[in-house]
Amino acid sequence: MADDFDYVIVGAGTAGCVVASRLSEDAGVRVLLLEAGGSDRTLWIQLPIGYGRTYFDASVNWMYDSEAEPALNGRQSYWPRGKVIGGSGSINAMVHVRGRPEDFDDWRDLGNPGWGFDDVLPFFKRSEDFDGPASDWRATGGPQHVTDITDRAHPLCRVFVETGQALGFAESRDFNGPEGEGVGIYQINTRGGLRASTANAYLRPAMKRGNLSLVTRARATRILFEGGRAVGVEYDRGGVRAVVRAKREVVLCGGAVATPQLLQLSGVGDGAHLQSLGLETVRHAPAVGRNLQDHLAVSYFYRSKRPTLNDDLRPLTGKILAGLRYLIDRGGPLSLSVNQGGGFIRSRPELTRPDLQLYFSPVSYTQTPLSERRLLNPDPFSAFLLSFNACRPTSRGEIAIRSADPFAAPTIRPNYLSTDQDVADAVAGTRLLRRIAATAPLCDIITDELVPGRHLQTDAELLADFRDRADTVYHPVSTCRMGPEAATAVVDARLRVHGIGGLRIVDASVFPTLTSGNTNAPTVMVAEKGADMIRADARGDAPA
């Protein structure tokens, strides 16, 4: 393998697979994709419900822990991140949510022209192959399949939707369509009963091209600079250091944790922090690692009169039947996520947009600690869970390297519940879960609130429980945010790192703000749009 490529991409995760595929469509360029993890061709990654196993599998998961969080009573938060081809999109729950249109108009209005909803919609459509109802907002024929599971979701999901309607919430038949507010069934990224990650949808077909090379088990340790320009990457593979050069650009696709980590290791970050660790400052960029945002959720568990997925997946006979069903037609519970129902609603009618995201999962895990939970071993009785998170938290955290050692995990400080607004949203969300559970038809099938228990009633008690049990839903973004000013942002609206030539970031770390929902689909969009920008700049036809 030659040492020089036109583009060197760091990270074969959700975004990196897309960028590598799109850049390699130009036959005249040579593209190298570096991935710290290994192959995604394993049963538990490709089987949709297998994410319950990879959740704690160190062979495919970085398995980070945050620092102790003061607002969560000093608890650490467990942060799984994909260490495998496909990245976190190979170990996530596959829920496909773009976010609200207003989210992207917010991005534009923060000084990022070209990122309003009308601007990004074509890239959402370019990426997808949707098998649900057609609309001007949806598309078919794209690389990544989006499955409408409305007719396959567990029957209790319908009870949840009807309960939401009884509370005055609309039913949304497509959270990614023009009527995305309300309660309904989530779409998922699967194709033919298998996970439709960007590794499967984008990278694997692109690897047939002779101009795309992939190196796995390659841990990027440093970006190389010459005269204020990124010219290559140093990486470690099996204890051997290697260097590869980029004639056009280095593109970072490591995600919200790894991208700021690599920048700081390379001398791009807050100069005082880098100096304290003995690192030379290539560029003082104080925004690197700052502005961390994440969704914080809590679950309430209810015992049910009617069967749930617990009854299907807990008994040995149920596992056997589910396996046989999957072998016959790749259908049944093994072909789905357990995150099936949910919605985007307003906690107060005077709000102009949804502020809470809901989850309804017809399954429960109350008798095993978090570290031992497996989706195929739920509670031995009929039960389900309700969850929520605030759509747009206002707390801001930070990710920072703790030493000059490239193999040391960075410090992760989410700084949850550090604003009055986030505390108020926590109370409003818990109150809403209780309202849902107390409303027919859902209340008619509930026999008991297992966790936290009905003895907790006051706002103070519910907030205390939230602090005891709430945790991330794995949506970290914005640690290399997009914006016009280098003092407060890391990349410009074309995803170029401020003040450095030949270096671009294309992943969830560039989100100016957290979107109202799951982050995988908007990450794919950013990758599609980012790759389009890179190609346009190379052709010389980018806007002035």
Catalytic residue list: 475
* Cα separation, 262 vs 254, whole angstroms: 8
Q: Which of 515, 516, 517, 537 is nearest to 526 (CA)?
A: 515
Residue keyed to tokens 């309202």: 435
Residue 418 — left, alpha, or beta (φ > 0 → left; ψ -120 to 50 → alpha)? alpha
Position of tokens 């009633």?
Answer: 457
> CA torsion, points 83, 85, 86, 92, in degrees to nearest 10?
-40
Return the SS3 of 48.
helix
Strand stretches in 397-517, DSSP E: 397-400, 411-413, 446-451, 471-472, 503-505
Q: Measured between alpha carbons, how far is residue 315 from residues 153, 319, 321 in Å?
A: 20, 6, 10
**Residue 264, amino acid:** Q
Is there a contact between 288 and 259 (Cβ–Cβ < 8 Å)? Answer: no
Burial label for 245, CB within 10 Å (0-12, 13-18, 19+), is middle
Distance CA 309, CA 294 (A): 29
